[in-house]
Amino acid sequence: MDVVLYDATKRMDSNLYKAVKDGNVQYLDDQHLDLSDTHLTPYHNTILHVAAHFGMSECVAKILEKKPNLICQVNLKDENPLHIAAREKKFDVVEALIKRAKELDDQDPESGGKTRQELLRAINVDGDTALHLAVREEDDKIVKLLVEEDPDFKHPLNKAEETPLYLAAERRYGDSMVKSILASKILPGCTGPSGRTALHAAAIFGNTAIIKMLLERYENLIDEPDTEGWTPLHYAARRYNSNIAGKLLEKNKSIGYTCTSQKHDESTALHIAAARDNEEVIEEILDHCPDCWEMVNNKGRNILHIAVDTEAREVIKYIVNKGWLESLMNQKDFEGNTPLHLVASSETLNLKYKDDIINHPRANMYAFNNQNSSPAEVASSVGKGIRSWLWKPRGGRNIAKREEDDQGNIHKEQLKRSKEREEKMRVKKAEALKKTSKSLTLVATLIATITFAAAFAVPGGYEVNRGSEEGMAVLVREASFKAFVVANTIAVMSSTSSVIFYVFAAFYYFDEVDQGQRYKWGFYLVLIAIVAMTGSFISGSYAMMAHSLSLVITTSTIGSITFLIYFFEVQRLFKLWYRKLFPWQHSEEMQD
């Protein structure tokens, strides 16, 4: 059925609407005022709906005195005035509506409380009663009042399959609302969407107080699964809540052995806690169900398999430090993989946590899976090469001597090749650095020569026959000339210092680190000298051509091109260096 959003043909009298909105009871008291149901908004709200929306309880009382039949009239969403008041959290209006409904029932004793029930139990197009709306708005006072006024009614599921109790359990601070709803004379409905119950909701949102209240009335819900096979304990494990997990297990230990549906690998709460790297929940579960660690999921994987697969580092550390969990080390899943096989195939697991498993006394590095591959062969097949720690011989192993020798020889050959590659690369880098330093030394010397000469052949020349100022620079008072002198001095000093670093670097042939540092500082100083020299040229040109604005602008613009080239080249160079020095950060950026 299509939902009508509004009716443009309906318009309430503006004066009447404003009077109710402002709480003008005197206006409503006019004996000639017509409060019939012809006064509707486009949403088909009556004047009573409007008064309820704005919380005008006195207007509500006056309207119901004149037109009591409006009390249960609904708008286009099948909402009566009580729905509106509950949603807008207008307690006084809720109280006034219920009071008037009871008065109308008292006037007709044979009605059996029909008006009150019709008001309180009405549902809108979403299937919500006024109690649903009050809970959703988290208004404790209205929730309590509505329950007390109709304690015999079991509120139905709305179209989202939610009961008021389920909605209250979803609220992080819904303790008092749950308490009020549970005070009903009948046992209220507690189901929610996807087969979940209020107990599931409380576990998901971590409310221990609600868990306690629900278990007192609904103990049978503790092992009730949702449509995915998840019990409240599964959600507690997923949400890192060891306190709730402990309370649930105290009531019923059997839930520690319950598995989810096949869609979720038929996992126990212990498996889920392992995947979430939740050591505290694992400790809580094993305290109540000490043997549930033996259970595997539908892939045959134990909690150590799962911890390695999900890189749950704290759980890995917890398991390897528990002596009675040692047998998990070599347990195979349905593909024949031990946890060590998964370690071998992991590209991102921290080496420290790999070592916790690899160096464990019970770890069998020569176990074969269904493809007849050992952990070392798995590592090689995924392109990581054969790792030394995977070929490390273990004392007391009943392994063929020939296999150990072959493995050892392969490892030695790889180490030898690796060292040779590293040495060739080191020599190549050293030769390239020396060639580059020679070129930079020449550049620094050239800059020093040019800027040194410019310091004595100043723009504009010197004063002649000016008395005490004779021999002084003609443009010495100009700001542009001063900028020229400063920039030129920086260029001279930077280039000269760079030459000094390159000269002394040659004497550090015995220490590659110190030699590299001097090459680096020499390079930085050359960059500074280039910028300063360009700046001195532009400022010197400006000083000499200040009276020709067009020529100054042209010269400065052309000179600035050097800065653009410099900027883009330096930026590109530093990006390349950054990628070489911090390759892991570059890879994360690419992934993002």
Q: Name the residue with tokens 């299937």.
A: 127
* 258 residue type, one letter: T
pTM > 0.75: no
Residue 197 DSSP label: B
* Strand-pair partners of 191: 197
* Strand-pair partners of 197: 191
- Are 340 and 364 in contact by the 8 Å Cβ rule? The answer is yes
The domain locations on the chain are 435-462+470-591
3-state secondary structure of 207: coil
- Are 539 and 582 in contact by the 8 Å Cβ rule? The answer is no
Phi, psi (degrees; rounded to nearest 5) at 368? -105, 140
User: For position 489, what pLDDT does the model report?
Assistant: 87
CA-nearest of 306, 318, 216 to 269 is 306
CA angle 475, 479, 483 (to 5 degrees): 95
* 457 residue type, one letter: A
Distance CA 340, CA 68 (A): 77
Segments of the chain with pLDDT less than 70: 1-6, 31-38, 347-355, 381-423, 426, 429-430, 432-433, 460-476, 509-512, 546-547, 559, 573-574, 576-592
Q: What is the pLDDT of residues 176-214, one digit of tens each?
A: 999 999 998 888 999 999 999 999 999 998 888 999 999
Phi, psi (degrees; rounded to nearest 5) at 191? -85, 165
User: For position 196, what pLDDT does the model report?
Assistant: 94
Q: What is the 3-state secondary structure (H, E, C) of 255-282?
A: HHHCCCCHHHCCCCHHHHHHHCCCHHHH
User: For position 463, what pLDDT does the model report?
Assistant: 63
Distance CA 56, CA 66 (A): 16
Distance CA 17, CA 11 (A): 10
